[in-house]
Every structure is written in structure tokens, then in C-alpha cells.
Amino acid sequence: MKTINISIAPPGAGKTEALLSKLPALLDAGKRIILALPTLVLSDSIARRACEAGVTYRTIDQRCGEAVVLTLEKALREKADSFIICTQESIRKVQHKLFSGWVLVVDELPKVVDYPDYGLKPMELERVLHFTDELDGQLWIKDDLKEAVREQVSTNRADARGTACSTLGRSAAHIFRLLLSKIDVFIDQPQPDSVRHIRAVEEFTDWWEIFSSAIECHVLAASIQNSEFEVFATVHGFHFKRSEFTPEGNPINSVVTIFPVVQTGQKFSKGMMLAPHGDKRLIDIVLKNILERTMSLPLLFANKWANLQFTRDVEYIPKDCRGLNNYTHATEAIVLFGGNPSPSDSNGIKYLSAKYGKDFEEAFITTRFLEPSLQAVTRTAVRCYDNTKDLHFYVQDHRVVDYLRSTYFPDATVDWSLASTVPIKRDGRKLDEKTEEEVKRLISLGTSTCQIQRETGVSRPKITKMKKMHKAA
């Protein structure tokens, strides 16, 4: 078993500060540390804070130009710098053995799997099938054309750098790279418009080689439970222990109210939100209803498909908001992005489940939907432990509610009144097991029928009937 040291704390709780505070002593003791960050924005922030703390560092990332990988490899090999700041993308490209002798710190969970899916029209599909054989729904490079495929990919990369001209499309180039890496690539049957989907499950296995090569590795994160990172680390023989960079626990003292958008038992989805209701999309109706309740300038997080980036009276923020620390003035957050697996993703999840004998769907939802929602709401004043203002989070559905309450907001109040304004028909007479248990619990506490309906979305007649049964029992 190999060890990954984990620093778990809420966003803004001081994980990076704990690292920076310990750096001088660690560097004086002769340790060499490389810090890998998910975004350039976060890289700039850490570099600035290291400078303020008087820590000498060197930044190596994509802004160094074409030679970023060679520069990083040279720095790791020569060990002239004791503290290097780079991106997660950069370290995946260097020779893994060069991490020997280095302490690796990864800020935020790295991406360990992807589910590429390309719908190819006949012309581009013909280009791919010219170099491949199709057998039982899978693609294989023709033996006598492997060198030609490598040349095609090489030319495409040179084209991206502006040093050559390639006629190979981006999708086809990635498909060829996957095949050359001996990753299973699947091809679906033609659709009515002759488009065929080519898909794969791309595991970033180099992470496990990198973690094994470093003399010590740490991951700083808000949570790893049920994430893709946790599942893949486990199947690759790693276990976890508490990192020395874990900050002292500071409970969240803010008074938080969570307003789900859709009623309990329903799942927020792209299809649901883009469905027309009269001359508007459902997501427009939802946002309008939310904005009628807000009392400040709220933060708004949404997918690109929602096309809400030009919404007035909000501060629009991209879904990937890690490292953004300049919104602590906000007391309200609206989270309207999805993260359910597509049909292609579901096929990939089944593939992984068959390969490893584990269920990967929960990990997918946690990584693509739940944890990003946590990251979003914690851009607000909740990061300030002296905050005295009430906070309102408008979130997608009961899954996000449960995740927030199970991580850092166990005392949050849940208000279902907003969900009742969303024009989605729900049979309040039929309950799933979880909702039924919640209604029974509230009844046992003597909660009013009105309050139970508000918190659960269950119809009043159903609650009244359950109260009578409870009393009779």
C-alpha cells in the first residue's frame, strides 16, 4: 500500500496558508517541494502569497512557452530550486521518475478520468475509418498504418503550435492519440443523420506513477469522499492519512439557509431546465423566481448551455471557480449547473464498473456535480469566519442539499418553498423512502403541516393522513 497524505478542510479554511507557513522550516531542512495547481489564476494567487510570506519560489507553467515540459524536467533534475509552483497539467507531461527526491503537493483533486465522446459526420468519420478497423463496436488501428497514424498525430500537434499544417481535425487527432495509447475506443451505430459517436474512457494513470515516484505526496481538498479520485486511488493501491498541512478546524458559524430549485425526489438536469414553458425556458422561470427573493447582488454559477452569462443584477461566475477568493462580500449564491452522466458517460461508467468491480456512478456525480456545487457556495462570505450576515444558497436539488449538509453545513436550514414555484408537476401523494422517513421524523417532532410541506414539498393531504396514522400508532 502506498500513501497519499490528505489535507481536508472547507474552501477558504487555510489549507494553502498551512502549507506556506510550514515551507520555511521544510526548505531549511533540505526538502524540495513542488506545488501543482489546477488553474493559472490559482497559480498567480499562490505565487503572490509566497512572495508576501518571504518564500523563494520559481513558477513554471504554460506561459513559459513551448519548452514548459523541458524546463520543468530540467528544474526537477538539477534541483537548483527548492520550491517550484506549476500546474497539474504540466506535471503530468514530465518524466515521472524525476519526482524522486521531491515532495509533491497537489492543490485540489486532480482529474483522474475523462469520458471523451465525438459525434463525427461522414466526411471526418471516413478519415478515421481509413486508418482503423471496426470490430464488435470497437476501433483498432490497422497494423500497416500505425506509423502513418503517428505521423498524422505529430503533424496535428505541430499545427497546434503553428509550425506545420494538418488536415486532421481535433476530434480525429484525439481519437488517434487514444488508440495509440492502447485505450479502448468504441464506435456506436449510425444515427438517422449518418453521424456516428466514437467514445472512450480515458484514465489518467500517470497520476499514480507520479505519486509513487515522489518521496512524499500531499493532496489539499475540500473533500475526497466518494470522489473519482478516491475510488481510483484505492483501486491503484493507495491509502490515505492526514496531511501535516491540514489547518486547525474552524467551524462555519454563519447562519445558512438552502433553497432547492426542484422538489424533493426530482433531479435537476439540462433537459428539465431547457424545456419550454410558454415562451420561456424553465431555467429562465427558475432564475426569475429566485431573483424576486434575493436581497443583494447574488453570485450566479451556470453551465454554458444555460446562456445566462449576460444576466443582469447578478455576478456571473464560471462553473470552475476554484481559487477565486474575491467574492467574500457576497451573501447569496445561485447554483444552476448540472452534472448528470450523459448516455455516453453512462456507457463509460458501466465499462469501468465491469473493469474494476466497483460502482463508479456515485463517484461521477460527486466529482462532476456535488463537489463543484460546494465549491460554488463557498466563494461567498462563508469563507469569513467573522461573518455575521445570514447566507442564502439557491441550489439545484435534494442531492446537493444532502451533500452540503453532510460536509460543512450540517446545521443549515432547508427551505423548499422555492421549489413549489417551479412549474413541474409532482405527485405529492407518492413518496420515495427517504422523503417518507423525513416526513415521519418531522411529525414526531411536532412540526406543523405547513412547515413540513415547506421543507419536503409533500402535499398537505398526504401529511395530514400521515399525522393521523402516527397518532393512531
The DSSP secondary structure of 317-358, one letter per residue, reads E-S--TT--S-TT--EEEEE---PPPHHHHHHHHHHHHHHSS
Tell me the one-letter amino acid at 394. Y
Q: What string of pLDDT tens digits covers the 473 residues of the chain? A: 699 999 999 888 888 888 988 999 999 999 999 999 988 888 888 888 888 888 899 999 877 766 888 999 999 999 999 999 999 999 998 999 999 999 999 999 999 999 999 999 998 899 899 999 999 999 999 999 999 999 888 887 655 555 545 567 889 999 999 999 999 999 999 988 889 999 999 999 999 999 999 999 999 999 999 999 999 999 999 999 999 999 886 667 789 999 999 988 889 999 899 988 888 999 999 999 999 999 999 999 999 999 999 999 999 998 888 877 889 999 999 999 999 999 899 999 999 999 999 999 999 999 999 999 999 999 999 988 888 899 999 999 999 999 999 999 999 999 999 998 888 755 555 676 777 888 888 888 888 888 887 777 777 888 998 998 888 87
Name the pTM for this structure: 0.84
β-bridge mates for residue 463, sequence order? none
Of 323, 325, 341, 334, give the one whose Cα is nearest residue 293: 334
Of 164, 136, 138, 168, give the one whose Cα is nearest residue 150: 168
Of 116, 350, 112, give the one whose Cα is nearest residue 236: 112
Give the SS3 label for residue 122.
helix
Phi, psi (degrees; rounded to nearest 5) at 218: -130, 145
For the chain, the straight-line distance linking the first and the last C-alpha, in angstroms and rounded, comes to 53
CB atoms closer than 10 angstroms to residue 365: 21
CB atoms closer than 10 angstroms to residue 457: 22
Superfamily of domain 2-112+206-242: P-loop containing nucleotide triphosphate hydrolases (3.40.50.300)
The set of cell numbers assigned to 158 is 505541430
Fold assignment, 256-422: Rossmann fold (3.40.50)
Distance CA 195, CA 218 (A): 44
Q: Are 342 and 404 in contact (CB under 8 A)?
A: no
Grid coordinates 422561470 are at which residue? 285
Rg (alpha carbons) of the chain, rounded to whole number: 25
Tell me the one-letter amino acid at 351. Y
